[in-house]
Amino acid sequence: MTPEELSTVVKSVLAEAVEAGELSVDLPENVVIERPKNREHGDWATTVALQLAKKAGMPPRAFAEILGARLEQVPGVERIEIAGPGFINITVDSAAAGELARTIVEAGDTFGHNDALAGRTVNVEFVSANPTGPLHIGHTRWAALGDAIGRLLRASGATVANEYYVNDAGNQMNVFGHSVLSRIHGEDVPQGGYPGEYVIDLAEEILAARPDVKDMPRDEALPIVRELGYQAQLGQIKDTLTAFGVHFDVFYSEQSLHAEGKVAAAVETLRQQGHIEDRDGAVWLRTTDFGDDKDRVLFKADGEPTYFAADAAYYLSKRERGFTEKIYLLGADHHGYVSRLKAIAACAGDDPERNIEVLIGQLMSIRGAKLSKRAGNIIELTDLIEWLGADALRYTLARFPANSPIDVDPELLQSRTNDNPVFYVQYAHARSRNAARNAEAAGVDRESFDAGLLTHETEEELLSHLGRFTSVVASAAELREPHRVARYLESLASAYHGWYAVCRVAPSVSPDGVQDPVTDLNRTRLWLNDATAQVLRNGLALLGVTAPERM
């Protein structure tokens, strides 16, 4: 019996008590089921009596006793204990607990998915590196976190778009174009240009496709070189993200905001909201009305739009595309953006506490990482993937809260020991698949299932962990905290390794090679083994990490 099933049971019993006149209270939309701090008190607990008793006009303990008496009659519930002022502790019988194994196996890849965020449309924007150079260590963490957050939101029922904002407008694109053009002519990049051998590579690629640009007047060649270089560099960025297992639904061009008149349209929308002020020949947005430290210029006195104007237009474009929630993942050097982005939302008439969320992450460092001469003395993401592997990187970056700095130990990530968290979890999955193969070779199948046989204390512990998975996914999605899934998987792996050490799936074989008969306990344990593998696999998938069959 899962926490979700128990929640439904408690709601149903509440409805019965209300209909019978024992309780007088409006039914809650959801009943929270949690693990008690002390497992001796039961398998699950709920504080619903404490939450509803006042509305029912009765003491919480009396409310809990009425509800508990009805819960004791529910099939699969072994015992109800009322503790303290009105805590309801629930113990389920072994058959009801063990039934979870079959539920998981039959649900397959969808187990853990839930509808906690159903009906919500969310735009998750992350990485958004300038298309003027390769992705580097500074983008790595946001790529891993953003993609994992998107996966969690989808698993919890939200409609999600992962979005990359391509900063293809502004002076940096001209600087980039001049840098590539200089390399085409065999010259050093101009002062303030983009160094690194990758610019030479881009120049060679462009010359192979358009050898005529070298003979053009520079003012004619520049826009061609800038566009070809931009497309080539963006293509490399996309290839790197694919190698890292990161998916984007949308690559949104900043230039398109200007070309399609969306910047001017955004200013008009904000003017209609009453927050625009024309001052000193410029157009200002009064963001101080909503907590920003100063008003922001949208159009300068010479008529040129500012970067902030594009930020405002970009926010409004997300709203126009139907996203009610916009999540921005920004680096530690972007703290100042929080107030101004929320001010844009407020000026547009949105709720800055509900319609926009800005996550600020801390930096990561990797001991012994080598700088890339090709990219101009930065640590390239492609080099990190080749050195440490996408799985190890993604898991490590996902297992820490975004607001905590990370110092990655490459020796640990490359070790095949239990001290390496990603190895520990992946090995648990590989071990479960090996157990399944050995069981199949011994003639064990899943033709029968008797949940009541799963009575060993390690089986109860393992089932307890499996039962938490869906609620962990839902909370990780709601809080935008993938590390909750990673830490859960480590706990589940520990429980599985403990179970594996004492509970055999395949029958025993005597020293002279005679195998014991296959029993229903073997078959039922195979269900539990495969259920654990499924949850490990599903959890790793939410983090963008593979689940190996063998290690």
Residue 242: predicted pLDDT: 98
Residues of the chain with CATH 1.10.730.10: 421-542
Residue 363 has pLDDT above 90, yes or no: no
- Spell out the residues 6+ positions from residue 467 whose beta carbon is closer than 8 angstroms to its own: 1, 2, 3, 97, 100
pLDDT grade for 94, boundaries at 50, 70 and 90: confident
Find tokens 């998915």 and name the residue: 113
pLDDT grade for 534, boundaries at 50, 70 and 90: very high
3-state secondary structure of 401: coil
Which region holds residue 249: left if phi is over 0, alpha if psi is between -120 and 50, else beta?
alpha
How, if at all, do strands 276-279 and 282-285 pair? antiparallel
pLDDT grade for 537, boundaries at 50, 70 and 90: very high
pLDDT grade for 3, boundaries at 50, 70 and 90: confident
**Model confidence over 38-91: pLDDT tens digits?**
777 888 899 999 999 999 999 999 999 999 999 999 988 989 999 999 999 998
Residue 39: predicted pLDDT: 73
359: which 2 tokens?
Answer: 């996550």
Residues of the chain with CATH 3.30.1360.70: 3-92
Indicate the CATH number for domain 421-542. Answer: 1.10.730.10
pLDDT grade for 326, boundaries at 50, 70 and 90: very high
Q: In CATH terms, is domain 3-92 a member of 3.30.565.10?
A: no
pLDDT grade for 232, boundaries at 50, 70 and 90: very high
**Model confidence over 279-298: pLDDT tens digits?**
999 999 999 999 888 999 99
Residues of the chain with CATH 3.40.50.620: 136-255+362-409
pLDDT grade for 376, boundaries at 50, 70 and 90: low
Tell me the CA distances in angstroms from 33 to 77, 90, 162, 354, one per residue in order. 14, 10, 31, 26
pLDDT grade for 371, boundaries at 50, 70 and 90: low
When pLDDT is averaged across residues 266-271 and rounded to a whole number, the result is 95
**Model confidence over 106-124: pLDDT tens digits?**
999 999 999 999 999 999 9
Q: Quick one: DSSP state of residue 29?
A: S
Contact 255/168 with Cβ under 8 angstroms? yes
Indicate the CATH number for domain 136-255+362-409. Answer: 3.40.50.620
pLDDT grade for 2, boundaries at 50, 70 and 90: confident
Whether pTM exceeds 0.95: no
**Model confidence over 8-31: pLDDT tens digits?**
999 999 999 999 999 999 989 889
Look over the chain and give the mean of its residue pLDDT values, rounded to a whole number. Answer: 94
